[in-house]
Every structure is written in C-alpha cells, then in structure tokens.
Amino acid sequence: MDALDAPLMEALQRREAIRAGVRLEVVTVVWMLVEAILAIGAGVTARSVLLTAFGFDSVIELLSGATLLWRQSDEARGSTGSRTEQVERRATVISAVLLVLLCLYLVFVGLAGLLTGSRPEGSTLGVGVSAAAVLVMPILALRKRRANRTIGSAALRADIAETVTCAYLAAATLAGAGVNLLLGWWWAEYVAAVALLILIARETREAIEEARERRGHSGSD
C-alpha cells in the first residue's frame, strides 16, 4: 500500500510546488513592475546611472518572472511530457539571455557615466525603493528555492539567480545612492555599480551553462 501511495504523494507534492511557484512568479511580476516604474523614474529625475540600471534590472526580472509564470502555468494546466520539456528549454534559454543583457547593460551604463562625468543627484525615492528590494528579494529567492526542490526546474534556477542578483544590485544601489544622498559623494554610485559586475558575470555564466546543457540533452533525444 505504501509503495502505491508514494507516486501519488510525489505527484501531489509536485502539483502543490507548481502552484506555489505560480503564486511566487505572480508576486515577482507585480513587484518588479512597480519597482521598475519607481526606480527608472527616480533615476531619470536624479540623472542617476545606478538607479536607472536598477530599474532596467527590474524590467529584466519582470520579463524573467513572466517567462517562468508561463512555464509553470503550462504545467499547472496539466501539460506533461514533450510539451513541458519544450517550454522548459525555451524558458531556460530566455532567462539566460536576460542575464546576459543585464550584464551588458550594466557595463555600458557604468562606462558611459564615468566617461561623460555625469554626476547623479541624491534621491530619497531611489534609496527607499532599493531598501525595500533588499528586504523582499532574499525572501522571494528563498521561497522560490524551496519550491524548486520539488519542481527541479532549470529555468526556475536561472530565475532564482536573477532574483539573487537583483538583491545584490539593490544592496549596491542602496549603498551608492545612500552615500550620495547623505554625503554628496556622486562617484559612490559608479563604484557600487562596477563592484557588482563580478557577481553578475558569475551568475550569467552559470545560467548560460545550464541553457547549453539543456539544449544538449534536447539534441541527444
């Protein structure tokens, strides 16, 4: 009896994990939409490269969350087998591409700001938005990681990496924008942005390797 119940229990646990994943991605999409609007608005107003980059990171995380919402909703509706695997491969590749775009964007805006000598103004709104993200992003990543222990989704792992990267970026944004607001050290924002490149490059490399591995498995099927 126990042997017969085990597959059923596993199926029920996976279904619940998928539902939890869907709810988490809905939260991600809504949060990132609000965060992107506020951060980009604050960045444009203060002429802050760091805040604008943080806002565009939110846009990328929004797209990633929408991608994962698509993937998990597809399975929640009962899609199985080759259909789910196809969606998984596409979602994994999209998540990896979004990380690459984030890395390239941060390099571009950082160098452009330094070369032009653009001096961002202090922004209370920017500090508030980044502080909120510092609190929320780690919790969201933890909840996603718990759900993915059952789901085992490579695309969700890439999305978790982007959520963690968003938390790092929020912390750096908070530090740079906070120092600029309190002390007027405008260059601190550029230092904070450059410091993140190593972390983001590592997360990007892992996501690319994951996408290549999954595409390789697809080609060998």
Per-residue pLDDT of 106-137, as tens digits, reads 788 777 777 777 788 889 999 999 999 999 99
Q: Is the pLDDT of residue 38 over 80?
A: yes
The Cβ of residue 23 has, within 10 Å, a number of other Cβ atoms equal to: 14
Residue 41 sits in a domain whose CATH number is: 1.20.1510.10
Mean pLDDT is highest, among 15-29, 128-142, 155-169, for 128-142
Residue whose C-alpha is closest to residue 102's, from 47, 56, 158, 39: 56
The Cβ of residue 16 has, within 10 Å, a number of other Cβ atoms equal to: 12
Q: Return the pLDDT at 85.
A: 66
Say how far apart CA 87 and CA 141 lie, in whole Å: 22
Residue whose C-alpha is closest to residue 163's, from 178, 146, 150, 176: 146
- Total domain count for the chain? 1
User: Angle, to 10 degrees, between the axis of helix 2-46 and the axis of helix 49-76?
Assistant: 150
- For residue 157, what are the domain limits? 2-220
Average pLDDT over residues 60-78: 75
pLDDT tens-digit series, residues 76-100: 666 555 666 676 677 677 777 877 8
pTM value?
A: 0.75
